[in-house]
Structure 1
């Protein structure tokens, strides 16, 4: 049974449609990321699932139980959903244990059981022994762990996370992402995670739904969307893109200004079709060669890799290499064998990413 099923829902703000006929499914113990620019509808969907925003049409079911259907909406507190927000939303006058216990106190009167459960979830989020501290005595990462413990204490069926890592510095953020992901998997909790950061989306999610103006452009595994985008919008949003003019020679070969390039998988376009070949910076290889077909124009050392701009057959390509090359050097440009992504000329090219 799917943890969450969203079918053909519509939501509006002040009479203006934000989501129109959107459908999505989250499997049991799956982490689904909603990724997109500000105002694309991802947070609207999260609020609709939580019951914080009315749905004008469509159905939402959690673990097979409808919470929005036929004009009936289950109130948020009866949906058994945990929520984690960007600003943590901790009570400054309550200590850590009191903050964590807050949600359970309205459902459970046994103080000993509440205390036991608070200790359990604090241990889960690596805050054992810190129950007496107040929010202002904690780091940003620790405050977020308190918010996570508070969301876990009622044993939710589904966890909703609204940009929970945006206020945490980069080093702590990636470690916390790994910890929370492992925790959700260990507890068997499905989750929906909203972000505008592709790095967070890649690191945290099992599946990724890329939003664009109220609809889902593509959904699937993060690697699939990055390596096999269905549209130029998806390609450009998820990473640096090089576009090379190309013509389909046969179902495995493209003819380009750089010469013929062979695909590891069949190209889904008719022979003779013209369009653009997508090449990621890591899909292009450079090797020093006095009579090479390319020339290094510019380099930028970025720590883990070096960004190179290379001119090849009238094209300027961005390439990612491990080690810097000699300045203004001749190089041989070749393509790493992979399944080529080809966009026919009639495909829409939307390359402005907010």
Structure 2
């Protein structure tokens, strides 16, 4: 049984469809990321799952239970979900323990049990010693941990996170992402995570669904979408992309200005098909040589890597290398062996790697 099953739903604002015939499934203990630009529909889907937005068509099931159907309309507080927001939504006049206890007090009247559950939740998020503090006395990362503890205390089976890391400093963000991911996995909680940051999506999710204008362009493991996008839109959204004119020679070979390039997987295109070969910056290798086929035009040292702009046989490529090269170097441009991604000119947007 899926943790969440969204089947052909339609949601509208002021009569305009934002989501139309959208389907998505989240399996047990999976973290699914909804990734996309502002206004693409990802938060609309989150609100529909939470019961905060009506669904005019289609069905939503949470752990097999229908949330909307003829004669069925399950209110948000009965959906057994936890929600974590971008702005934390903490009560400033309540201390940490009171904020965490707030959602449980309407369900559990035994004060001793409430205190015990609060202590357990704060222990999970490493705030056991801060129960008496108030939100303004905490850092952004600590405030987000309070929001997480408050969502966990009612023991939800599905967690919804709406851009929860956007207000947190960059240095803290990746550590907190790791902590929350481990916490959700350890508690066996499925989650849907909304963001517009591909870095957060890559670090936090098991699978991601890339949204575009109210529909899902592609869904799968982050590595799969990055390395084998099914469209130019997906390729460009998820990272820097070089495109090299190419022609299919056979099922595993492309012909380019740089010579023939072999693929580690079959190309889903007929021999003679013209199109574009996608190359990520790390899929290109440079080696210094006076007889090389490329010339370094520009370099930028970025700490973890060096961005290198190279002109090769009339094609300008952006390459990621570990160490800077001597200025205006002559280099040989090679391709790291991998399963090539090829977009035919006559069928733009279709992946050409089996």
- The bucket for the TM-score relative to the shorter chain is over 0.9
Deviation digits for residues 194-239 of structure 1, max 9, x if unmatched?
0000000000000000000000000000000000100000000000
TM-fit CA distance, 1:157 = 1.1
Q: Who is 1:27 aligned against? A: 27
1:81 aligns with 2:81: yes
CA distance in 1, matches of 2:53, 2:84: 17
CA distance in 1, matches of 2:149, 2:347: 46
Q: Who is 2:56 aligned against? A: 56
Contact 2:178-2:204 at 8 Å conserved across structures: yes
CA distance in 2, matches of 1:120, 1:69: 37
Q: Who is 2:111 aligned against? A: 111
Contact 1:308-1:321 at 8 Å conserved across structures: yes
Q: Which runs of structure 2 are paired with 1:248-287 in the superposition (5 Å)?
A: 248-287=248-287
Q: Who is 2:154 aligned against? A: 154
CA distance in 1, matches of 2:295, 2:45: 48
CA distance in 1, matches of 2:283, 2:89: 43
Give SS of 2:87's match: coil
CA distance in 1, matches of 2:176, 2:87: 15
Give SS of 2:346's match: coil
Q: Who is 1:321 aligned against? A: 321
Structure 1 segments unaligned to the other structure (5+ residues):
none
TM-fit CA distance, 1:155 = 0.2
TM-fit CA distance, 1:72 = 2.6
CA distance in 2, matches of 1:276, 1:315: 12
TM-score where L is the length of structure 2:
0.98
CA distance in 2, matches of 1:25, 1:73: 20
CA distance in 1, matches of 2:32, 2:21: 19
Contact 2:304-2:322 at 8 Å conserved across structures: yes
CA distance in 2, matches of 1:133, 1:243: 54
1:337 aligns with 2:343: no
TM-fit CA distance, 1:68 = 1.4
CA distance in 2, matches of 1:70, 1:50: 18
Q: Who is 1:122 aligned against? A: 122
CA distance in 2, matches of 1:32, 1:61: 16
TM-fit CA distance, 1:129 = 1.2
CA distance in 1, matches of 2:280, 2:326: 22
Contact 1:6-1:60 at 8 Å conserved across structures: yes
CA distance in 1, matches of 2:305, 2:39: 33
Q: Which runs of structure 2 are paired with 1:166-245 in the superposition (5 Å)?
A: 166-245=166-245
TM-score where L is the length of structure 1:
0.98
Q: Which runs of structure 2 are paired with 1:30-45 in the superposition (5 Å)?
A: 30-45=30-45
CA distance in 2, matches of 1:19, 1:147: 29
Contact 2:230-2:349 at 8 Å conserved across structures: no
1:311 aligns with 2:282: no
CA distance in 2, matches of 1:32, 1:339: 25
TM-fit CA distance, 1:349 = 6.4
Contact 1:231-1:347 at 8 Å conserved across structures: no
Give SS of 1:193's match: strand
Q: Name the CA shift for 1:307/1:71 in 2 (closer, same or farther; >3 Å).
A: farther
TM-fit CA distance, 1:71 = 5.5
CA distance in 2, matches of 1:295, 1:129: 59
Q: Who is 2:11 aligned against? A: 11
Give SS of 1:346's match: helix
Deviation digits for residues 316-342 of structure 1, max 9, x if unmatched?
000000000000000000000000000
Q: Who is 2:292 aligned against? A: 292
Contact 1:247-1:274 at 8 Å conserved across structures: yes
- Corresponding residue pairs, total: 350
Contact 1:276-1:342 at 8 Å conserved across structures: yes
Give SS of 1:9's match: strand
CA RMSD of aligned residues (A): 0.9
CA distance in 1, matches of 2:142, 2:74: 33
